[in-house]
Amino acid sequence: MGVYLLRRLGLMILTLWILSLIVFFAGQVLPGDPGRAILGNLASQNSVQVLDHQLGVDKPLLVKYGSWIGGLLHGNLGTSYEFRAAVGPFVRAALINSLKLAVLAFVIVVPLSILGGVVSALFAGRWVDRVISIAGLSLATVPEFVSGIVLIVIFGVELKWLPVSAAAGAGASDLSQFKHLILPAIPLVFVLFGYIARMARAGTIEALNSDYTRTAVLKGMPRGLVIRRHVLRNSLLPTITVIATQTGYLIGGLVVVETLFNYQGIGGLIYKAAQGKDFPMLESGVVVIGIVYVLATLAADLLLIWLNPRLRSEAGL
């Protein structure tokens, strides 16, 4: 366990370091002058320079990278240009909001897509399978803002069943918050459904064709029991990994969904920071997303090893 985990953590840190380089240098080629952007066109060149100096944007690239990464390691995400305040609390609050939305989307999509995938596999090649597969694939590539717009038109504007904004307002009850989050969660569910269902389908088909399933059927075990006890337990393993890797796509979707539904999450935060050229906010938000993704992948790998004894011995545990 020790060696595997160390190697895995080492690679993870390497990946995150490369990620920080990409993000930092992408941010550095941002055109324009942060001081000018904050003070506006009417400010004198002198005061712009003073502000730039205060912000530290006139320092050499490597010095800036060093102080940024040093701050990150100490949990200091920097100071927002736009709000002139520490980035940390903004990112934390946004992350919690996004988490609520993401959890709701996962709670809906995981059982639904596994069910879809298993049903697809049981009817492999028949029309039920084709409908689920093609619908899943199509929904997965319809951008969130497109399905979001259609949902808003139908359920928000025409039927007036659900609120079209995700923000429930300050002091809203949990139930009200939940109601506001349903509509934004559905486009995310659409995008994720296809992938997870596809994986569950493939895993189930593999398990259905296995020797142990044949043995169970031949010894006269009822079909329902075979599926529950032998097929599902084996077929869902690869699905777990897919669910974890989908967190990355989910966060990408959050940018759109949070913008569309006016929600104060990490996606919305990054988007506004990009528009306002709020460089520290943008960088930190993007790196935090990277960290969340890498941790989710690690968690999935460990879970998979824990669940599958064969992998456990391969990993040298």
Residues that bind other proteins (CB under 8 A): 11, 14-16, 18-19, 22-23, 26-27, 29-31, 130, 133-134, 137-138, 141-147, 149-150, 152-153, 156-158, 164, 248-249, 251-253, 255-256, 259-260, 270-271, 274-275, 277, 282, 286, 289-290, 293-294
Residue 7 or residue 228: which is nearer to other proteins going by CB? 7
197 vs 110: CA distance, rounded Å: 9
Which letter does DSSP use for residue 164 in this model?
A: S
Q: How far is the CB of 151 from other proteins (least distance, A)?
A: 10
Q: How far is the CB of 208 from other proteins (least distance, A)?
A: 17
90 vs 284: CA distance, rounded Å: 10
Q: How far is the CB of 116 from other proteins (least distance, A)?
A: 16
Residue 102 or residue 227: which is nearer to other proteins going by CB? 102
307 vs 302: CA distance, rounded Å: 9
Residue 91 or residue 227: which is nearer to other proteins going by CB? 91
Residue 156 or residue 280: which is nearer to other proteins going by CB? 156
Residue 216 or residue 263: which is nearer to other proteins going by CB? 263
Residue 158 or residue 211: which is nearer to other proteins going by CB? 158
Residue 206 or residue 221: which is nearer to other proteins going by CB? 206
Q: How far is the CB of 181 from other proteins (least distance, A)?
A: 19
**Residue that has been written with the tokens 């380089």 in this structure:** 21
Q: How far is the CB of 216 from other proteins (least distance, A)?
A: 27
208 vs 32: CA distance, rounded Å: 59
Residue 29 or residue 42: which is nearer to other proteins going by CB? 29
Nearest-10 Cα torsion for 206, 210, 215, 218: 60
Q: How far is the CB of 226 from other proteins (least distance, A)?
A: 26
Q: How far is the CB of 48 from other proteins (least distance, A)?
A: 20
Nearest by Cα to 66 from 103, 105, 31, 24: 24
30 vs 275: CA distance, rounded Å: 11
Phi, psi for 18 (deg, rounded to 5)? -60, -40
Nearest by Cα to 200 from 275, 133, 149, 254: 133
Q: How far is the CB of 19 from other proteins (least distance, A)?
A: 4
Q: Are 199 and 238 in contact (CB under 8 A)?
A: yes
**Residue that has been written with the tokens 């490369």 in this structure:** 18
Beta bridge partners of 63: none
Per DSSP, helices labelled H in the chain are 2-28, 34-39, 45-55, 61-73, 87-122, 127-141, 144-151, 174-208, 211-218, 223-226, 233-260, 266-275, 279-307, 309-314
